[in-house]
Structure 1
Amino acid sequence: MSSLSGAPSTSLTTAQAVARSIEALILDAALAPGDKLPSERQLMARLGVSRAMVREALKSLQGQGVIETRHGQGSFVCDTLAKPEDNEPLMQLFLGHNRTLYDVYEVREQLEGQAAALAAERGSEQDFYWITKAFNAMKDEKDPQRLAERDHAFHQAIVEASHNGVLVHILSSLKGLVQHSVAASVYNLSHRDAFKPQMDKHHQQIWQAITRRQPVKAQRAARAHVRYVAQSLRDIEVQEQSIIRASELL
């Protein structure tokens, strides 16, 4: 996570400048939805302002719906886009039809390809640490549920390393659908020798291209991975007349 730095701008009130500094972290994706903000004491020390100014800034951001304060826990970034709940009729419609699964893959191919390219360009060494940690966590994992969670964590770490706030927040709003698509790929493909090696190879290619700062290769690898998964599921569905649907994994 990036740190706040620099004195507040003199063109704004102190509280407004503190609020703008926090907003900049959110827009830069250094603070993602659900992340905890630095403590009041940390904000005071980093910005050289009083506790009263920090509290006024946090109150303003809370009033805008940008952050929420939880008693005894601190302040956290809110989701800036509405996130459909799994029990909503529209979400149930999405999860009940296989064609929607492929719609999700089409969106993921474009957005995650761009995220991988940006991560290779903009990612910090700390970002690369988390991407590498997530990549290594997938290795040799046999339990489908844990593998799905770690697979999603790998892709999420890449998105956050893009430092494109709009991209981060759009994918955050699609988190439920993305998680279901990852789970579907894992439950249908990861146990099959015909598909698992290629999926592992794709993950390694994505990881290497990003950490070696090769944006074109990173984008190509990320998009190829999502396309491969989608086509593999289509092939299985044709041959076996069915696949394990995301809704069946809940």
Structure 2
Amino acid sequence: MPRELSLPARTPDAIAAHLEQLILDGVFRPGQLLPSERRLCERLGVSRTSLREGLRVLRSKGIIVTRQGQGSAVAALLPGRDDSPLMHLFRDHPRTLFDLLEVRSLLEGESARLAAERATPADRVVIQRRYEAMVEFVQKGETVEVERLAHLDHAFHLAISQASHNPVLVHTLQSLTDLLLSSVFASVKNLYHREAPRQMINRQHARLYRAVMEGKPQAARRAAVDHLDGIGEQLREIEAEERRLERSAIRLDVWE
């Protein structure tokens, strides 16, 4: 944690409010262990008694949980989100993939614009690492492990959204993690073994990366929207091609 977290007010409520803001900002994420009490006291400039009272406030709200022998961790802020009936319906009906791509275009276009405006040097380091990890994996060989690439792709887009420094936007996207991963997985599985779509996706990722890193908000938004629109168009073309092949096969059966 950076040293500038030192608090002007050291009451338990002020400590709790400050930690809540750090959680909202994504500094501490769901499931992540908080630093030790000693380290928090040093960084926040508070007494251990005040810190413990502040943590008790967060615990009473369900924002943090205590793990036996490990310390305090940020709670799952949206518990059971991936097991709800609605999530099952979305996952089990492929047509919702195109609806999800539309939602991603809206949210990720804006998060890319904000990231280009607001990203800190630390944010850019994370984005660079996520992008380079994805590119390195792709360049390793001809055969691409679909699930691994989908996770690297998702991590790159998530790093950009976190650099938007809009907690509501970040947590909205995180609440859709399973669905977002499923859409990335579908894109990689259906498109990445085809030369033209693969080159398109690689170019679009590079364009998005450059726009965010160079601090060009409108270019970043356009790159994110074009990327997702392009994926949607390619998937629709594959769907149309499969229908054409199916009709041709039926006609062939009729004539035989």
TM-score normalized with structure 2 length: 0.87
Change (3 A) 1:226 1:154: same
Structure 1: how far apart are the matches of 2:4 and 2:127? 22
Q: Unaligned 5+ residue runs, structure 1?
A: 243-250
Residue 46 of structure 2 aligns to a residue whose secondary structure is coil
Give the counterpart letter for 2:6 in structure 1. Answer: G
Partner in structure 1 of residue 122 of structure 2: 126
State the Cα RMSD in Å: 1.9
Structure 1: how far apart are the matches of 2:173 and 2:72? 22
Per-residue deviation at 1:59?
1.3
Per-residue deviation at 1:43?
1.2
Per-residue deviation at 1:134?
0.9
Give 1:77's match in structure 2, choosing from 69, 74, 78.
Answer: 74
Q: Confirm whether residue 26 of structure 1 aligns to residue 62 of structure 2.
A: no
Give the counterpart letter for 1:177 in structure 2. Answer: L
Partner in structure 2 of residue 5 of structure 1: 5
Per-residue deviation at 1:176?
0.8
Per-residue deviation at 1:222?
0.6
Q: Percent identity?
A: 46
Change (3 A) 1:196 1:232: same
Partner in structure 2 of residue 245 of structure 1: none
Give 1:105's match in structure 2, choosing from 74, 96, 101.
Answer: 101
Give 1:215's match in structure 2, choosing from 214, 217, 224.
Answer: 217
8 Å CA contact 2:34, 2:71 repeated in 1: yes
Partner in structure 2 of residue 138 of structure 1: 134
Change (3 A) 1:3 1:116: farther
Alignment of 1:31-50 (within 5 A): 31-50=28-47
Q: Unaligned 5+ residue runs, structure 2?
A: 139-143, 245-256
* Bigger helix fraction: 2
Q: Confirm whether residue 152 of structure 1 aligns to residue 143 of structure 2.
A: no
Per-residue deviation at 1:56?
1.1
Residue 73 of structure 2 aligns to a residue whose secondary structure is strand
Q: Confirm whether residue 224 of structure 1 aligns to residue 235 of structure 2.
A: no
Per-residue deviation at 1:33?
2.6
Partner in structure 2 of residue 53 of structure 1: 50
Per-residue deviation at 1:3?
5.8
Structure 2: how far apart are the matches of 1:42 and 1:229? 45
8 Å CA contact 1:33, 1:169 repeated in 2: no
* Structure whose alpha-carbon radius of gyration is higher: 2
8 Å CA contact 1:159, 1:168 repeated in 2: yes
